[in-house]
Amino acid sequence: MHKLFSGAVALATAATAMVALSGTAEAKPAADWAGCPSGAVCVYPQNQNPAQSPSAVYWSYGGHDLSNQVGRHWVLNNQTGGATAELCLNYGGTNCNYTIGAQNGVYADLTPINSIKLNRP
């Protein structure tokens, strides 16, 4: 009985170690996503579906004015740490009406959108 119990303890210890190791492996930084670098927000060419190669990449927090972005586009938020991005009706990152969470994207009509705002977490 003692050998059976110590064998079960060894198995439980090994399973716990595997869970601990797999938890560490998941903590690595985000990777590029459809050509959008980790930490950036990317806009893709009109009607490029699926998203493959961005036409615009934004890195800094705050508003970024768009130019000649009409029709449907993928906008991917590949920022880390919970940072959000917003689609805004006015220039300068104002009058925002849609929020994109970190590691999320939207296939949106950018015709009425005049800027994208990147927000700190």
AA identity, residue 15: A
Kindly give, in sequence order, each residue whose CB lies less than 8 Å from that of residue 44, ignoring residues fewer than 6 positions away. Answer: 34, 51, 52, 53, 54, 55, 73, 74, 75, 76
pLDDT tens by residue, 37-88:
999 999 999 999 999 999 999 999 999 999 999 999 999 999 999 999 999 9
Q: Residue 97, class by beta-carbon neighbours within 10 Å (0-12 exposed, 13-18 middle, 19+ buried)?
A: exposed
> pTM here?
0.74
pLDDT at 30 (0 to 100): 59
Structure tokens at 99: 């929020």
Q: Which residues pair with 42 in a beta bridge?
A: 57, 76
pLDDT at 17 over 70: no
Does the pLDDT value for residue 6 go beyond 70? no
Confidence band of 100 (pLDDT split at 50, 70, 90): very high
